[in-house]
């Protein structure tokens, strides 16, 4: 199983709104993520920085492709644009893949 990590930033004064939107995550978005083989998805926050991690049962390329082709993901990204900033990879349409430098099993 591949692992995937991303980072982003919450816009000033928008943390509570960011959290509220995730507390009310759309069921259709959850369905797309599961279809993409994404599981064990967690987002952490410190100050205005966000760090996300998930595992890809079908591989990270597949997960990125399913998300890039999904109108639901496009809608979610647009919905979140006023509360956060995230660099997107122009090729995959997803967050740039972070490089793993250490892992303890």
Matching residue, tokens 């960011």 = 18
SS3 content of the chain, % helix, strand, coil (to 5): 35, 25, 40
Dihedral sign for Cα 23, 98, 7, 70, please: negative
Which residue out of 1, 5, 16, 22 is catalytically annotated?
22
Q: In 3D, which of 103, 97, 91 has the Cα closest to residue 56?
A: 97
Q: Establish whether 45 is a catalytic residue.
A: no
Catalytic residue list: 22
């Amino acid at each position: 199983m591949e692992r995937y990590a991303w980072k982003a930033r919450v816009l000033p004064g928008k943390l509570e709104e960011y959290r509220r939107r995730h507390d009310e995550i759309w069921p259709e978005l959850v369905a797309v993520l599961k279809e993409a083989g994404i599981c064990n998805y967690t987002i952490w926050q410190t100050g205005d920085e966000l760090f996300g991690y998930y595992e890809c049962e079908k591989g990270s390329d597949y997960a990125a492709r399913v998300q890039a082709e999904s109108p639901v993901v496009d809608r979610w990204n647009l919905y979140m644009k006023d509360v956060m900033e995230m660099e997107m990879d122009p090729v995959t349409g997803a967050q740039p893949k972070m490089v793993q430098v250490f892992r303890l099993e």
